[in-house]
Amino acid sequence: DPKAHAEILFEVAKKFGVEEEKIILIKDTYDTHDEAKKISTLLNRKKFALVTSAYHMPRAMALFKQQKAKAIAAPAEFLLKRKNLDSWR
């Protein structure tokens, strides 16, 4: 993509009315591990909401925990497919 995911979300947040001064844009991260390292350093052990897909949350929380971050899980993008409800049978 020509634009980083973080930059796209930065623009979305502004369109939803979040003041630009209240947004911290972290550039040069290539994966969740990089994000965990940079965010943990930036927040210096302060509590924060970690928003990611429900599917990705366990992995993300584990990576942030490794960095001693005080992340509070805030999962999004729940997806349930009816046809999979009986798959355990």
Q: Which residues pair with 70 in a beta bridge?
A: 47
pLDDT at 85: 57
H or E element that contains 72: strand 70-76
Spell out the residues 6+ positions from residue 3 whose beta carbon is closer than 8 angstroms to its own. none
**pLDDT tens profile 1-55:** 677 778 888 999 999 999 999 998 888 888 899 999 999 999 998 999 999 999 9
The answer, yes or no, to whether residue 83 has pLDDT greater than 70, is no
